[in-house]
């Protein structure tokens, strides 16, 4: 078989592979489906984070699990709306209205009629962190957002590395032989004051539970760090 024929076969199978993935289109998105008819009403008085997509496009299906997970966390929120616009169907006019050219395109804003383009990461942790940092504001009048912010910080810490722990506990690392120092003992006392067990307890309606959850996780991380570092001495 000549090189050109082999190349053609490879191209053919590449296209078929892509089409096979697109063929398994899941039309049901967890995010709120926005159309020209319901856009104004549904987005009223809410910050929005919207994905403009075409379900037949591979990259839209590829990011769908990440977007579904994000939307699932905010379905009951009265502060922020995670939306989905189908540029192939009832949302075509909205895509034109917001100058969407390629898909998927992500837009956000506190005014649904004046959106900015999101340029960040395409995975759930990046989406989630962006919502908490840019669209939800922690304040006395909005304690729910404070709890959400605490939960967001927990997600950020889940993938913490030993090098990052070096930054969190710099004094301890600079003097490894003094791991059980007065400062460390005091930190332990403070942490123990906030919780009585090792279970992460989180209630989206309770601000203190959110704070407690963070302290529990930090304690676990700290204890893991001390155990790991002590074994290296």
Q: What is the pLDDT of residues 82-93, one digit of tens each?
A: 999 999 988 999
Enclosing domain of residue 41: 25-135
Counting the structural domains of the chain, the total is 2
Tens of pLDDT along the chain (233 residues) come to 444 444 444 444 444 444 333 333 446 888 999 999 999 999 988 899 999 999 889 999 999 999 999 999 888 888 899 999 999 988 999 999 999 999 999 999 988 888 999 999 999 988 988 887 788 765 444 545 555 555 555 455 545 555 554 555 444 444 444 444 454 454 455 445 444 455 444 444 444 555 555 555 566 656 655 565 555 54
In a domain, 167, yes or no: yes
> CA 33, CA 31: separation in Å to the nearest integer?
6
Query: Does 209 lie in the same domain as 107?
Result: no
Question: Of 135, 163, 181, which closes a domain?
Answer: 135
> CA 167, CA 56: separation in Å to the nearest integer?
45
Prediction pTM value: 0.54
CATH number assigned to the domain comprising residue 70: 3.40.30.10
Beta bridge partners of 53: 86
In a domain, 2, yes or no: no
Question: Of 135, 170, 193, which closes a domain?
Answer: 135
Query: Does 148 lie in the same domain as 103?
Result: no
- Residue 99 DSSP class: T
Query: Does 121 lie in the same domain as 29?
Result: yes
Cβ atoms of residues 105 and 117 within 8 Å? yes
Query: Does 221 lie in the same domain as 201?
Result: yes
In a domain, 130, yes or no: yes
């Amino acid at each position: 078989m000549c090189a050109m024929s082999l190349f053609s076969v490879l191209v053919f199978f590449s296209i078929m592979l892509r089409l096979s993935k697109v063929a398994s289109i899941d039309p049901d998105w967890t995010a709120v489906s926005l159309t020209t008819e319901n856009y104004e009403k549904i987005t009223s008085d809410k910050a929005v984070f919207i994905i403009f997509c075409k379900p037949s496009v591979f990259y839209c299906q590829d990011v769908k699990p990440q977007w579904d997970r994000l939307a699932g966390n905010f379905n009951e929120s009265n502060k922020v709306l995670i939306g989905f616009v189908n540029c192939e169907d009832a949302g075509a006019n909205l895509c034109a209205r917001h100058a969407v050219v390629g898909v998927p395109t992500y837009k956000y804003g506190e005014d649904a009629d004046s959106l900015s383009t999101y340029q960040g990461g395409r995975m759930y942790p990046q989406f989630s962190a962006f919502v908490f940092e840019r669209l939800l504001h922690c304040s006395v009048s909005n304690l729910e957002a404070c709890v959400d912010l605490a939960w967001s910080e927990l997600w950020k810490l889940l993938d913490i590395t030993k090098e990052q722990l070096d930054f969190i506990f710099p004094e301890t690392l600079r003097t490894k032989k003094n791991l059980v120092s007065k400062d460390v003992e005091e930190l332990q006392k403070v942490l123990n004051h906030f919780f009585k067990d090792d279970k992460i307890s989180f209630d989206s309606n309770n601000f203190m539970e959110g704070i407690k959850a963070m302290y529990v996780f930090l304690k676990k991380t700290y204890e893991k760090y001390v155990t790991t570092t002590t074994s290296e001495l």
